[in-house]
Chain A
Amino acid sequence: MKLVEPKNFFAGIWKENPIFVLMLGLCPLLAVSSSLKDAAGMGVAFIAVLTGSNITVSLIRKVVPAHIRIPVFIVVIATFVTIVDYSLAAYLPQLHKNLGVYLPLMVVNCILLGRAEAFASKNNIFNSALDGLGMGLGFTLAIIVIAVLRELPGQGTLFGIRVFSENYKPFLIMIMPPGAFFVIGFLIALKNRTGGRKKC
């Protein structure tokens, strides 16, 4: 593989989208997609952690013996998650409060560990960074789309700004957990239909 391969960046956004195709990391997706603001914050935090951990894992891939790689990956991921956690608490306390437990829970997120194992530990730094950015962006786009489809009918607002009139009766189920499942189900069905997924 070449030193820099742009397709690594685009894979995560559509063809190998971590949510709609790989179906990883659904837990934070379900939990914080009820408002666009939190979803966007989660997405940015996710990109930061994923890119950071991918670069670091790729950097140390040659010195880490294979039999202890998983604990090393987890230490690396946990370090980045904690840095992001502290920074948000210090500079964006409201967002930190809204994301709650789902921010530290990123440590055990399958996308992070999955990309470290499947990609970063086998590829050079630049490609790993691209992969992290792409996958992170894919996650962010997915969570933003879901948040729009939940916040708009569920509260009549976007980014907390009123879109529908005051008289709009919010369809509350959309901002509750079942709403997240409905939206994800419909979006995956739609993606399978347009993406021409192979029949099993």
Chain B
Amino acid sequence: MKRKDIVTGLIVILIITVLSGYLLAQVYKITKIRIDEQKQSEEQRLYKEIFPEGEEFSEEKEYVAVYDGDDRPLGRIYHIVEAGYGGPIVIKAGFDIDSKIKDVRILEETETPGLGVKIKEKTFLDQFTGKSGNMLYLKKYNSEGTIDAITGATISSKAVSDGIIKAQERIERESGLNNSIEATTEGVEK
């Protein structure tokens, strides 16, 4: 290859990459605002679904703290990743200030179609609402458990239940923080 060919080749590819880089930067600038909005509103919508009365959701290190309009704490939303049957299951679990389950949502899963994916259905997830402690176990695995596994999808069901129980254990470990929430709400409740 001649020296001239190399130089022209370099110049052409340089011009094209610079042009395409400039174009992409412009597109990125325009779309970024929308993309950020989408992401934000999607998360906010999910939080609002779990805590309909929540007004403010502030990101803490391990969870999202939920406050109502008067800045009183309502509870926390935990982000949990648990190994399911076909891959990781991403769960958002809301706990109220008594560490009872407020609501549960499945963000991502790769479970068996028609079987394990039923963990996303309300009939399964609603079983957790209002429960705490050993009640969160599947009936099969704990005598105090109250959760019915999805027929034929025990592993997927167990993953959700296990994830929620782990989040609950995390709350108990951070009992120092937990007490402070209770202290601030005691006056309000009683």
Contact = CB atoms under 8 A, between A and B. Distances in A.
Say if the two chains contact directly (CB < 8 Å).
yes
Interface of A: 60, 63-65, 67-68, 71-72, 75-76, 78-79, 82-83, 86-87, 89-91, 93, 154-155, 170, 172, 175-176
Given A67-B5, A86-B31, A172-B113, 15 more contacts: A63-B12, A64-B12, A67-B1, A71-B13, A75-B17, A75-B20, A83-B24, A86-B27, A86-B28, A90-B34, A90-B35, A154-B113, A170-B113, A175-B113, A176-B113
A193 to B, nearest CB: 31
B114 interface: yes
Contact of A86 (B13, B35, B112, B114): B35
A170 B20 contact: no
A75 B28 contact: no
B28 A68 contact: no
B44 to A, nearest CB: 14
Interface of A is mostly: helix
A172 B114 contact: yes
Contact of B20 (A68, A76, A86): A76
Nearest to A63: B12
Contacts of A89: 31, 35, 38
Given A60-B16, A86-B31, A79 B1 contact: no
A68 B10 CA distance: 9
17 contacts: A64-B12, A65-B5, A67-B9, A68-B9, A71-B13, A72-B12, A72-B13, A86-B27, A86-B28, A87-B31, A90-B38, A93-B42, A154-B113, A170-B113, A170-B114, A172-B113, A175-B113
B24 A79 contact: yes
B8 interface: yes
A68 B114 contact: no
Contacts of A176: 113
B123 to A, nearest CB: 15
Interface residues of B, number: 23
A163 B149 CA distance: 29
Contacts of A72: 12-13, 16
Contacts of B20: 75-76, 78-79
Contact of B12 (A68, A79, A90, A93): A68
Closest 7 pairs between A and B when the two form their complex, measured CB to CB: A90-B34, A90-B31, A79-B20, A86-B31, A68-B9, A93-B38, A172-B114
Contacts of B1: 67
Interface string B3-27: 0010011001100110010011001
A82 B31 CA distance: 11
B172 to A, nearest CB: 34
Contacts of B42: 93
Contacts of A79: 20, 23-24
Contacts of A63: 12
A35 to B, nearest CB: 11
Interface in B118-164: none
Contacts of B8: 65
A72 B115 CA distance: 47
